Structure 1
Amino acid sequence: MFGFGKAKSDGQLPGNTSPGSSAHRRNLPKLLLRVAVVFVLIYFLLFLSNAKALESTPDVPVQQPGQHKAAESNAPPKKSKPVAQTEESKQHGQAEKTRTTHAIVSTSKAVPVQQSEKTKQPEHPEHLEHLEHPEQPEQPEQPIPPVHTKAPEQPPKQPPKQTEIIKSGNGEHSGSPGNKNQRLVVLLPATGPNPDLCKFLFSAMVLGYPTPIVLNWGVDYHEITKSPNGWNMPKIVGITKYLDAALDPEAHPDEKLHEDDIVLIADGYDVWFQLPPDVLLKRYHESNARANARLREQWPYSSPMPMRQTIIGASEKNCFPPPDAGVKMRCDILPESPLRPDLYGPDTDNNHNSTDFHTVRPRFINGGSYMGPAGDLRRHFRRVLFKFESSVGRGERLWSEQGMSGEVLGEQESWRKWRRKYDDSGDDANDADAMSLMQREYEYHFGLDYHQEISIPTVHAEKDGWIIHLNNKADIAARSEKLGISPVRLQGVPADVKVAPNPLKAIADSPDWGEMGLYADFFTEAVPVLLHHNAWINDLKNRRSWWWKDMWYFKYLRQLVTLRMTPKDLTPLAEVKVESGNITYWAQPLDNVRRRPRYFRGSLAQPMTEMEYDTVCRFEEPPEDKSGPQTWWDEVFRDGKGGI
């Protein structure tokens, strides 16, 4: 519409109009006006276009600089020894010379990236503890998928978000009055790799438990204990740090816990799961109900009872460690076992030989497992940590985490006996403020799994149980007779197991718990959720290898693990009826897509990073026995098909 001819080489405008002519002077204002009109029209059109675009664009949270870097900051430390190249990768020709072989976290296998010296993670695992995380925008509802997992086209259904759950008067979060939604978390303290860790992880996976969270990876216990002793003492520090981070109001919504969410802590190197979370959670509530009924019976006053049980620790037959370990467990004042007084015949609880505890009913703490609300567990382990750090500060050489928790349990029992003798509502109390202080200091709602329904430690019970088929009455009778048990006590599949979801239903028709290999105790009749291989006499620790093939899931392990590795919608872990209503338990939201163990680095401002099974499960050192398994999958799967 508006056109200009090309300028001639002599510098004159088209039309042979010289710059100094009168015609040029007359046309100049018209030319400038036309140019101005063009610019006005262009500006107006651009304004209208931008306005329409703004009206049709939804609000999108702006990503803060460094957001992805913050997510990557949970990478595990490079403190452990390099992961050796596996035999399987050699056979497939996948080993690149430039590939970093000691990466701990999951990385994209499609595009290997050589890490430069400038971008390597710091050597110390504490390198993230002092970083300040920038304020993050509101996170989208769909969880962040890991790099090795293809995100589904539609986001899987999620359980009710913690931020959407209202608070009820008793401190439990619920969607409607009387109905509560809570999370279950499984914690796995482990400082280094071992094929036995994969037995813990895979036994949990095939039964439908939440993916375990690894604590203390790469930690050197000498730095914690300041002595050559105490390889399991980092448990105290790692558990406390995790609970502090998970209960922090600033924790990422996918990792955050509420005070009453349930946490299960178990030793990973010698513990197997054998029953599903439905059984675990129902037994947890039933065990607490029985314990609280006993506490009410022992309370002699009409005033409100100031004690209750919410935390359950494992129990064993021996008070261990002894006093020379630097702890005061007060085993002489601990409650008597509620099990039948003739459990082991006329010599029950008569320990004539101080080194043989077989006939003692379990009533002492075992540190192999703890289960309870996140808030109560944090308070308990903060007390344990305080006592531990105080002892280390005095130069004492402690070596038993179990002993430290046992000392707190002994303090609680001393306080409870004192409260039963002196009620603060009457004249017996000389100082009500002191009574209140004692309550705040020493009541931790902590009790023991006397019936061993949640966990059975096999130490001092080496012959008490076996992996059997509970429908096989003849086998049960023969083994009971050999142990001197008459009449037979163990009577088939427990009622709560009969109605529990059976994981084999996904791959077999009409599976029967009674035809599946389960560990059972012939004396107590317990068929526990967890089997703890802490029996050590006569090399019985090797049962971790000897008995693995006898567990019900071993024959189907690869098939079941492959099914569980597939991302899918979350479903409830269990629905439990309690006095106040119903509780529905869920895994954390990321469990639907992140199917490998996640690693806690000290902060939960961002979702935790996954770990590869080749890293967690490998032999830390090459096996000395060259005739036995040389790779972790040879020990765990035993099918000649490699890893997973």
Structure 2
Amino acid sequence: MAQRHFYGADELFGRAAVPSHDTFREKFQSIAPSLSKPTWHKSADETKNLESHLSDNKTSHLLGGGSHVAKITNVLEWLEAVPSSQDNELVLMMDAYGAFNLYDNPGNKATHMEADIWFQLRPETLIDRYYSVNQAANRRLQKRLGRAVEAEGLKQTIIFGAGKRCAPNQVHTVACFPIPESPLPADLYGKNTDTIMGRNKYTSLRQRFLNSGYIIGPVADMRAMFRRAQEKVDASKDQDEWDNGSHGSDFMYHGSDQSVFNIILGEQEFQREVLRRQHYKAGDLDGKPAPPTHLEGTLIDDPLNPNFTHEPMEHKTGTPDEFGIGLDYFSEFGQQTVNAEEDARFIKHNQEIDPQVTGRQIFDCPIRAKQGLPKDINVSRQPFEVQGQRANAPAESGWDEVPLYTNICLDQVPVMVHHNGDKTAREHAWPQLWLQPQARKLMANVLAQDTSVTEVGKGGAFSEGKHLSWEELCPSDMDAELYRDEAP
């Protein structure tokens, strides 16, 4: 499932297939923190089957039976329908595989355990961070690319999640080898940073590569990028000529939307380096050649022509591959859990940090989390506030008094938690989320709010233009797992 938040129209869009306990959790905490009213769309019967582009292919070969490709085809369909007058509005598209539309699938309560993104902060914090993250990224672009930035109009407007691996793409392809160095601290994991030394060979790597679990950007820029993604889908073949022999890239990496976006980013970064070299002049303070990097232990001495067998690329004129894509390196939007389970903890920021972070091992990052919270969280509406009221709020209800999932390596509290690592962790993590212990009361407050207030829709969702109530989306027989406030 994919969700998009169109803040201008105050709608959150999504795709749905089958229900699960995690689906209801995701729906609840996307509605309860006032993230606006979602719209859920079907995927299975509306997705343009990838086999129409790949000969003799069956959806059984594809991730989620082709649902990952729906993140491209159906999101583009929606973006194409948005009028140009709203091109500057922000869209948030996020993963929620396993979610469902009960209205269209009555009685189908299979648990696919795949809805894996939870919100913990307010939408205003997310929007504020969109602008601050881009400002910081554009400063880094100026330093890295120099004269090319102004000459070619380069800037960041679209933000993807960031991860530690160039997955699922093969590392000798353009999706991986041109990707620039991570801006995260070089000592993030001490002397083990960017080595294979760790709990596994990826845990000590800094976030550097694209993760398509969430994407945020203006309508016009997202539309252009998704058009390119659809072109990649349409042009894909059963077998990639640059496959390493494992057939891992067959059928567009078995229908991986992330593989497509990785390629788009790799082509963008390849061409950005071409432009940097075209515009650079000896003596420039900005735009100097970057030092060599390493990719999973392999030296990248030249991002345009690395010294190993690699996919060749054309040096182009201008910016035909420029989409303004950047990454959420510092986990300001979301914290990925894959290869990062030990990088974050639920902590209360009004208490000493170290006693709350136990079980540290020799390869884990130094604890950098501090007491107190950043301004963008403190100035947002308080955790249990609905339309300016805090009815039924517990005694300890300030942001620094509730547990927040925090990247303790970076001292960062993300807006979202992306459980793309150990899926079973969601079972014990759910009651740790600040809103869950008060979930029933909080949802009652949301459902009772004044619908004349346009800031957020009353609990529920839209599907194919029809409103569905919260009760239709989440039937009462799911309450025990969702609220966990009654004895079995």
TM-score above 0.5, yes or no: yes
Query: Is 1:597 aligned to residue 477 of structure 2?
Result: no
Q: How big is the shift at 1:329?
A: 4.7
Partner secondary structure for residue 611 of structure 1: strand
CA contact (8 A) 1:197 1:616 kept: no
Equivalent position amino acid for 2:467 in 1 = E
1:287 pairs with 133, 144, 149, which one?
Answer: 133
Q: What CA RMSD, in Å, does the superposition of the two structures yield over aligned residues?
A: 3.3
Q: How big is the shift at 1:532?
A: 0.6
CA contact (8 A) 1:275 1:530 kept: yes
Distance change (3 Å), C-alpha of 1:560 and 1:457: same
Give the match for residue 207 of structure 1. 33
Q: How big is the shift at 1:555?
A: 1.4
Q: How big is the shift at 1:194?
A: 2.3
Q: How big is the shift at 1:533?
A: 0.6
Could you list the per-position Cα deviations for residues 5-27 of structure 1 after superposition, in whole angstroms to 9, with x for gaps in the alignment? xxxxxxxxxxxxxxxxxxxxxxx
Give the match for residue 17 of structure 2. 191
Distance change (3 Å), C-alpha of 1:224 and 1:476: farther
Partner secondary structure for residue 377 of structure 2: helix
Instruction: Tell me how far apart the structure 2 counterparts of residues 352 and 478 of structure 1 sit (CA, whole Å).
Output: 22
Could you list the per-position Cα deviations for residues 162-196 of structure 1 after superposition, in whole angstroms to 9, with x for gaps in the alignment? 9xxxxxxxxxxxxxxxxxx9455433333332232
Give the match for residue 383 of structure 2. 503
Q: How big is the shift at 1:220?
A: 7.3
Give the match for residue 47 of structure 1. none
Instruction: Tell me how far apart the structure 2 counterparts of residues 525 and 453 of structure 1 sit (CA, whole Å).
Output: 10
Could you list the per-position Cα deviations for residues 336-390 of structure 1 after superposition, in whole angstroms to 9, with x for gaps in the alignment? 1111100001110112589620100001111111011111111111111110121
Instruction: Tell me how far apart the structure 2 counterparts of residues 184 and 489 of structure 1 sit (CA, whole Å).
Output: 36
Give the match for residue 233 of structure 2. 388
Could you list the per-position Cα deviations for residues 572-595 of structure 1 after superposition, in whole angstroms to 9, with x for gaps in the alignment? xxxxxxxxxxxxxx75xxx545x3
1:235 pairs with 46, 71, 88, which one?
Answer: 71
Partner secondary structure for residue 410 of structure 2: coil
Pairwise mapping of residues 44-63 of structure 1 onto structure 2 (< 5 A)?
Answer: none
Q: How big is the shift at 1:639?
A: 3.0
Distance change (3 Å), C-alpha of 1:457 and 1:258: same
Equivalent position amino acid for 2:131 in 1 = H
1:610 pairs with 436, 460, 467, which one?
Answer: 467
Equivalent position amino acid for 1:611 in 2 = L
Partner secondary structure for residue 280 of structure 1: helix
2:268 pairs with 395, 412, 424, which one?
Answer: 412
Instruction: Tell me how far apart the structure 2 counterparts of residues 379 and 195 of structure 1 sit (CA, whole Å).
Output: 35
Instruction: Tell me how far apart the structure 2 counterparts of residues 376 and 220 of structure 1 sit (CA, whole Å).
Output: 24
Q: How big is the shift at 1:316?
A: 0.7
Equivalent position amino acid for 1:503 in 2 = P
Equivalent position amino acid for 2:89 in 1 = D
CA contact (8 A) 1:192 1:217 kept: no
2:436 pairs with 544, 554, 561, which one?
Answer: 554
Instruction: Tell me how far apart the structure 1 counterparts of residues 77 and 223 of structure 2 sit (CA, whole Å).
Output: 9
Give the match for residue 347 of structure 1. 192
Query: Is 1:308 aligned to residue 165 of structure 2?
Result: no
Distance change (3 Å), C-alpha of 1:394 and 1:478: closer
Query: Is 1:361 aligned to residue 206 of structure 2?
Result: yes
Equivalent position amino acid for 2:400 in 1 = G
Query: Is 1:453 aligned to residue 299 of structure 2?
Result: no
Larger Rg: 1
Q: How big is the shift at 1:453?
A: 0.8
CA contact (8 A) 1:310 1:373 kept: yes
CA contact (8 A) 1:193 1:616 kept: no
Q: How big is the shift at 1:615?
A: 5.4
Give the match for residue 48 of structure 1. none
Unaligned runs of 5+ in 2: 1-5, 52-56, 97-114, 241-249, 282-313
Q: How big is the shift at 1:334?
A: 0.8
Instruction: Tell me how far apart the structure 2 counterparts of residues 641 and 597 of structure 1 sit (CA, whole Å).
Output: 30
Give the match for residue 400 of structure 1. 256
Give the match for residue 121 of structure 2. 275
Give the match for residue 139 of structure 1. none
Distance change (3 Å), C-alpha of 1:345 and 1:447: same
Give the match for residue 111 of structure 2. none
Distance change (3 Å), C-alpha of 1:610 and 1:640: farther
Distance change (3 Å), C-alpha of 1:352 and 1:549: closer
Partner secondary structure for residue 264 of structure 1: strand
CA contact (8 A) 2:345 2:407 kept: yes
Equivalent position amino acid for 1:562 in 2 = A
Give the match for residue 263 of structure 1. 91
Farther-moved stretch of structure 1 (195-204 vs 508-517): 508-517
Give the match for residue 450 of structure 2. 568
Q: How big is the shift at 1:290?
A: 0.4
1:468 pairs with 341, 347, 352, which one?
Answer: 347
Pairwise mapping of residues 516-531 of structure 1 onto structure 2 (< 5 A)?
Answer: 516-531=402-417
Percent of pairs with identical residues: 27
Q: How big is the shift at 1:612?
A: 4.6
Distance change (3 Å), C-alpha of 1:345 and 1:616: same
Total equivalences in the alignment:
404
Instruction: Tell me how far apart the structure 1 counterparts of residues 221 and 184 of structure 2 sit (CA, whole Å).
Output: 26
Could you list the per-position Cα deviations for residues 226-257 of structure 1 after superposition, in whole angstroms to 9, with x for gaps in the alignment? 5221222211111111111123x6xxxxxxx7
CA contact (8 A) 1:634 1:640 kept: yes
Q: Structure 1 length as normaliser, TM-score?
A: 0.57
Instruction: Tell me how far apart the structure 2 counterparts of residues 394 and 213 of structure 1 sit (CA, whole Å).
Output: 36
CA contact (8 A) 1:339 1:361 kept: yes
Instruction: Tell me how far apart the structure 1 counterparts of residues 478 and 271 of structure 2 sit (CA, whole Å).
Output: 48
Distance change (3 Å), C-alpha of 1:520 and 1:348: same
Could you list the per-position Cα deviations for residues 454-492 of structure 1 after superposition, in whole angstroms to 9, with x for gaps in the alignment? 011100011221222222215456538656778741002
Give the match for residue 534 of structure 1. 420
Give the match for residue 489 of structure 1. 368
Equivalent position amino acid for 2:153 in 1 = P
Distance change (3 Å), C-alpha of 1:379 and 1:185: farther
Instruction: Tell me how far apart the structure 2 counterparts of residues 358 and 277 of structure 1 sit (CA, whole Å).
Output: 30
Distance change (3 Å), C-alpha of 1:617 and 1:329: farther
Give the match for residue 244 of structure 1. 80
Distance change (3 Å), C-alpha of 1:474 and 1:311: closer
Q: Structure 2 length as normaliser, TM-score?
A: 0.74
